[in-house]
Structure 1
């Protein structure tokens, strides 16, 4: 049976072996997955956020890593919550390795005093009997929220895009990896609002307040592994920020992630979400022509944003299930 141990993130051989198993597991099940790069993993665990502890576990058998687990424990908010991801190499599945990793992660979770565990399970379109779902349900997890993973092949032909809304009352402001000082307060307010507005179903999660310290810490760490494009809408008459959209581009990949897009409540109804997404697409095509696929996630219940994504040309590749289990009270 495999030995389960916490790995040293500064041990490059161990971390690369860990990453290799994660990627082999993902690619075996999800042909259109967007997964992090090695640089992104190394950044997360070698330059840790002051807001998150992230233990990594490895199952090692005969000197080879055959399974991995990641536990994420926030340190300043949601102190009831632990996030868990488990991957077993396709050649070593159905041998109890996943359950052994789960049990080792449970020791970490209980020691941290966390009562709720959540994890993401992505199911590729056409997979009617996902083994990961059966595994999660056997461990007592239930699906408490679903989103669709949507993909858009790049480059995009501008002729196939919907025309930008003619909204002259707003201008688009673009920045890259670091928010300009004059926009920090407004950007933090919008980021906080995004956390409150994004659908989470029954996930037992309370969105944190984003302040300048948290924003700057995130920017500093993110730029080690990603480029960032931010488009923000600003009302011309008074300079009030009305919304934003963010795209992340890993330094060592040809994929891109369309992350948050938000329009603030008082500014909705002007199709600013579409305008913001088109603005990031324009910068993406001009500055990063090597990218081949743009990924995003959308809840069908978020009707306006889902319609916007469909109009741009996204199509569904997977369904994301937020799996959750709570200790008995």
Structure 2
């Protein structure tokens, strides 16, 4: 596969990053960081090659492949393809990146051709991908709006133009929000106390760092399973993920290999002894100032008791003690998820950017 002097090659992940065969992976990781800085204007979402290496390893739940674009022996682009193995068996998840100095030369299209070929070879009929943009555009101007009518993404952006040209449609827009850490905790304490009072005596919060207690493992896995489809998914053809205790442990082990840590809070319904909600945060040692707010879920039959607010406020209050170097917390929510967005605004999160979810149906 080639375009002019550009060659596209599938990259075989090495056993480690120590040998000469790891050089392409390290260069490709540096390229990812160039793109992250270009998008966000900072290093907050950059990662080391070690972190990306652990994330790129295939496991029993996803097969992960990398394609690299070369100009001579210089890496100028990359494409990542994740193939789910236990659920969403019609789908591939893809990412295409091109070095800013080599755009508009067909590199992205050549990489995308490799992605689509990979998907079809794995009998997949749907491709999904995500792109980011800072919140520095006028949403009333030239924007794309998903079918849900919630959110907007700049139509003139490089990512949007590339996605539309390759036949993708805008399926959803997420809002990226950020919360500074280290301010006066009084407001968070008040929100947590008010929510706990609203929840009443039937509920209690349990928490752990890094590893779920064995006795809660399968219940926690069921919450992760429910989370996969309980949140708004826009026009994405997303099926419920398969989660069990083994997948939770794989997720925890991967994060540990990346030098990461998690802070989890779950809510226990005391009359039944069941977990009915959870929230968790993640941080990596290489980036001690940045925390990511991940899932927050309360089972539908237990909503209306401010359990989500209780969980999130209590977890955020713990950040300064567990991770004293933390400065900023990032989170993503679908624009149509107005309830959770309002909770985040109440907690002090402010818009930082937007993530577009793209989808394409493939023909065999």
TM tier, smaller: over 0.9
Alignment-derived partner of residue 277 in structure 1: 312
* TM-score (normalised: structure 2): 0.85
For the 8 Å contact 1:57–1:70, the answer to whether it is kept is yes
**Structure 1 match to 2:208:** 175
Q: Distance in 2 between matches of 1:136 and 1:159?
A: 45
The residue correspondences of 1:1-329 to structure 2 (distance < 5 A) are 1-10=5-14, 11-31=21-41, 34-46=45-57, 48-127=58-137, 128=154, 129-161=156-188, 162-164=190-192, 165=195, 166=197, 167-169=199-201, 170-225=203-258, 226-253=260-287, 254-328=289-363
8 Å Cα contact 2:291/2:326 also seen in 1? yes
- CA distance in 2 between partners of 1:103 and 1:121 (Å): 18
- Matched residue count: 328
- Structure 2 counterpart SS, 1:72: strand
Shift, 1:293, TM fit: 1.3
CA distance in 2, matches of 1:4, 1:193: 39
- State how far apart, in whole Å, the 2-side matches of 1:209 and 1:163 are: 34
Encode CA deviations 1:83-106: one digit per residue, 9 max, x unaligned. Answer: 110111112211111111111222
Please list the CA deviations of residues 301-323 of structure 1 after superposition, one character each: whole Å capped at 9, or x if unmatched: 22221111000111111111110
C-alpha displacement of 1:156? 3.6
For the residues of structure 1 that align with 2:184 and 2:157, how far apart are their CA atoms? 35
The separation in 2 between residues aligned to 1:53 and 1:35, in whole angstroms, is 23
What do you get for the CA RMSD once the two structures are aligned?
1.7
Unmatched tracts of structure 1, length 5 or more? none
| Secondary structure, counterpart of 1:13 in structure 2 | helix
Structure 1 residue 36, shift from structure 2 partner: 4.5
Q: 1:208 to 1:227 in 2, by over 3 A?
A: same
Partner-residue secondary structure (3-state), 1:308: helix
- Take 2:86 and 2:242, find their aligned partners in 1: how far apart are those partners? 11
Deviates more, 1:140-149 or 1:101-110: 101-110
Q: Aligned with 1:4: secondary structure?
A: strand
Cα deviations by residue, 1:75-131 (Å, 9 ceiling, x for unpaired)? 122121111101111122111111111112222112111111110011211244311
User: What CA deviation, in whole Å up to 9, does each residue of 1:163-182 have, x standing for no partner?
Assistant: 21223422211111111011
- Kept in 1: contact 2:296–2:312 (CA 8 A): yes
